[in-house]
Amino acid sequence: MAETRLREAICRFGRSLFERGLTPGSSGNISVRLDDGGWLVTPTNASLGFLDPDKLSRLDAGGRLVSGDAPTKEVPLHNALYQTRGAARAVVHLHSTHSVALSMLPEIDPRAALPPMTPYYLMRCGQTALLPYYRPGDPDVADAIKGLAGKYASVLLANHGPVVAGDTLEAAVFAMEELEETAKLYLLLRGMNPRYLSPAQVADLTKTFGLTLPDAHDHP
């Protein structure tokens, strides 16, 4: 896709996410990897609901600003996902309510923050890792992401929010929406002993759709 169209797509998806209350104020950020190795990313302190295509930050392959406004402070977070997820062409990070709430619960397994609740959660997100708290913009979060060794496209940052990588911008946004809805389902059903997908059903989805799910022991 041409860079002009990618800029427009970032603004269109950003506005959609903002208008549905999935990331308030000036929170959240979106990036897209370009064919030359550089990337477009939303600027710092910018609301996803009011982005200007011409003011998006254009970074080179080394992460240096080439044009546009100053980039989000979460550049290290995005860069770590691009480095470890070879097929990733887009990254979305939000402060969506239900995913943030999920990240604060004591029973959450850091290797699988959500159980296999629905087929589309597994198909779009795989499994979701939970990382410890890092302050926003902390470069150490990049090392934590790299420690996942590219096995997770979907990650929760404790007390902060979700971040998802996809092979297209649309795929990353759809996966983020699926993660948020599944987190909402988990909170609605918490303590009610719901029926999750069985191992046989998960195996069937994995085989049918060619899913690659992290092993239960991949992430400490």
Mean pLDDT, rounded, of the chain: 95
Domain-embedded: residue 168 = yes
pLDDT level of residue 220 (50, 70, 90 thresholds): very low
Domain-embedded: residue 217 = no
**pTM above threshold 0.85:** yes
- The range of the structural domain enclosing residue 171 comes to 3-209
Domain-embedded: residue 16 = yes
**Active-site residue 121, yes or no?**
no
Catalytic residue among 120, 133, 134, 196: 120
pLDDT in tens, 50-67: 999 999 999 999 889 999
Domain-embedded: residue 11 = yes
pLDDT level of residue 216 (50, 70, 90 thresholds): low
pLDDT in tens, 100-155: 999 999 999 999 999 999 999 999 999 999 999 999 999 999 999 999 999 999 99
Domain-embedded: residue 216 = no
Element (H, E) at 67: strand 65-67
Domain-embedded: residue 220 = no
- Total domain count for the chain? 1
Domain-embedded: residue 103 = yes
Domain-embedded: residue 218 = no
CATH of the domain at 40: 3.40.225.10
